Amino acid sequence: MKLYILMKLLVILLLVLCHGICLAEDLPGNQKKAKTLTVKQAAEIVKKANETRQRELDLSWLTSIDQDVAGELSHYKGLRILLGGLTSIDANVAHELTKRQLGGQYAAPTKGLSLNGLTSITKDVAHELVKKANETQQGQLNLNWLTSIDQDVARELSHYGGQKILLDGLTSLTQDVAHELTKVRPGRFGWYNNLSLRSDIPAKGLSLDGLTSITKKVAHELAKCNGSLNLNYVKSMDSEVARELAKFKGDFLNIQNLESIAPEDMNILKDGLRGRGGSEKFYRAMMPYKLNDGTMVKKWNGKIIEYRKDGSKMRETDYKYGSVTLRMEWDEAGNLTKEETYPVHEPSGVGEQSLEVKEQDKEPLDNEVRSIESTKLTTSDGLVYVKGEKEPFTGISVQYWRGGSKRQHWHYKNGKRSLRMEWDKDGNLVEKETF
pLDDT of residue 354: 30
pLDDT of residue 367: 47
Please report how many Cα atoms fall inside a 13 Å half-sphere around the Cα of residue 429, on the Cβ side.
17
pTM of the model: 0.60
Element (H, E) at 272: helix 263-274
How many CB atoms sit inside 10 A of residue 79's CB? 16
**Class for the domain spanning 119-295:** alpha beta
Element (H, E) at 2: helix 2-26
Q: Which residues contact 281 (CB under 8 A, 6 or more apart)?
A: 322, 323, 324, 345
The domain segmentation of the chain, as residue ranges, is 26-114, 119-295, 299-346, 358-435
pLDDT averages per 10-residue partition of the chain, 435 residues: 53 47 46 76 91 88 88 86 85 80 42 77 91 84 89 95 91 96 86 54 88 95 92 92 91 88 80 67 71 70 83 84 79 89 60 34 51 80 84 86 79 85 81 77
- Calpha distance 251→225 (Å, rounded): 9
pLDDT of residue 358: 37
Distances in whole angstroms, Cα of residue 171 to Cα of each of 144, 147, 266 = 11, 7, 24
Strands (E), 292-350: 302-307, 313-320, 323-330, 336-341
pLDDT of residue 88: 84
| Per-residue DSSP letter, 281 | H
